[in-house]
Amino acid sequence: MPRPQLHQYTVAEASARRWLYVLHGIYGTGRNWASFARRLVAGRPEWGAVLVDLRLHGHSRGFEPPHTLGACVHDLLGLSAALERPVDAVLGHSFGGKVALMMAAAVTPSQVWVIDASPGRRSPGGGAARLLRTVRRHPGPFAARLDAVAAVEAEGFAAHVAHWLATNLVLGDGGYRWRFDPDEMEKLLADYFRRDLWDVIETPLPPSEIHVVRADQSDVLLAGDMKRLRAARLNGRVHTHQLHGGHWLHVDNPDGLLALVRDHLGAF
């Protein structure tokens, strides 16, 4: 049986000669970043963007275990080969940020953008774990999407988070159900939390540059992380940036993030 291939959505002008792979956060899809990618490509038409649905997300279904960050990297390498588009740069948000760091070790892209993700090992928890518990408590079926939104909001999540999570609903017999398996998602999250990738930042492989972007209203990157990142900047290939906004920077501060990436994305 042929190996499944990641679903992707490409944003590019005819003049595109280099490729930025964009990796969403947990429970997201590549199209979460479509507006950002369109605006980026309009300002830097020599770059094209490949918006990826990581394994178990969106339309990237049918992948076999193990469900790990390493498996995500393997999937991406297969996609790059199938598309015949090299990974010239990679941008990852949250969960996708750690996958992006692992890509840096695998293919040494010219740039790696890590958007509000900590490179270090953490105890499982936070909003991602809470959302997973919510999905388990409310598996569906739901008569309407808004019923699922209401269930998520009742667990204490903001309306915009509930509506975003509801993009993972699919209509089947009996109503709407979540299209991802919470047990499989838990395996991805477990590997995300236990993985330590500080070595990628502190000893980056040339010629990669690493840009870490912190959201100032997020608690993902702690004071100890920032101290360690500032020390890593001494190697000349690690750069730190801070933008106003919450964890979902591409939603909270799309103009600021766009300007930052557009102005620093490698020239050639």
Examine residue 234 and state whether it is found in any structural domain, yes or no: yes
Pick from 164, 113, 112: nearest CA to 134 = 164
Examine residue 75 and state whether it is found in any structural domain, yes or no: yes
Examine residue 15 and state whether it is found in any structural domain, yes or no: yes
Q: Does one domain contain both 58 and 94?
A: yes
Examine residue 3 and state whether it is found in any structural domain, yes or no: no
What is the reported pLDDT for 1?
Answer: 56
Question: Which residue type sits at 246?
Answer: G
Examine residue 186 and state whether it is found in any structural domain, yes or no: no
Q: Does one domain contain both 113 and 213?
A: yes
Q: Does one domain contain both 233 and 100?
A: yes
- Total-model pTM: 0.94
Q: Does one domain contain both 111 and 131?
A: no
Examine residue 45 and state whether it is found in any structural domain, yes or no: yes
161, 167, 180, 247 from 157: Cα distances, Å: 6, 15, 19, 14
Q: Does one domain contain both 13 and 139?
A: no
Domains of the chain: total: 2
Q: Does one domain contain both 115 and 54?
A: yes
Quote the CA–CA distance of 105 and 141 in Å, as a whole number. 42
CATH number for the domain harbouring residue 82 = 3.40.50.1820
Q: Does one domain contain both 136 and 259?
A: no
Q: Does one domain contain both 36 and 94?
A: yes
Q: Does one domain contain both 208 and 99?
A: yes
Q: Does one domain contain both 107 and 54?
A: yes
Examine residue 206 and state whether it is found in any structural domain, yes or no: yes
Q: Does one domain contain both 23 and 154?
A: no
Pick from 242, 203, 238, 237: nearest CA to 223 = 242
Print the domain residue range for 143.
126-181
What per-residue string of b and e applies to 14-53 under the rule 16 or more CB within 10 Å gives b? eebebbbbbbbbbbbbbbbbeebbebbbeebeebbbbbbb
Q: What is the pLDDT along the chain (268 residues), one digit of tens a residue?
A: 567 899 999 999 999 999 999 999 999 999 999 999 999 999 999 999 999 999 999 999 999 999 999 999 999 999 999 999 999 999 999 999 999 999 998 998 999 999 999 999 988 778 888 999 999 999 989 999 999 999 999 999 989 889 999 999 999 889 999 999 999 999 999 999 999 999 999 998 888 899 999 999 999 999 999 999 999 887 788 999 999 999 988 988 999 999 999 999 986 4
| Contact of 45 with 13, CB cutoff 8 Å | yes
Pick from 39, 54, 45, 51: nearest CA to 18 = 45
Q: Does one domain contain both 111 and 232?
A: yes
Q: Return the structure tokens found at 8.
A: 């992707």
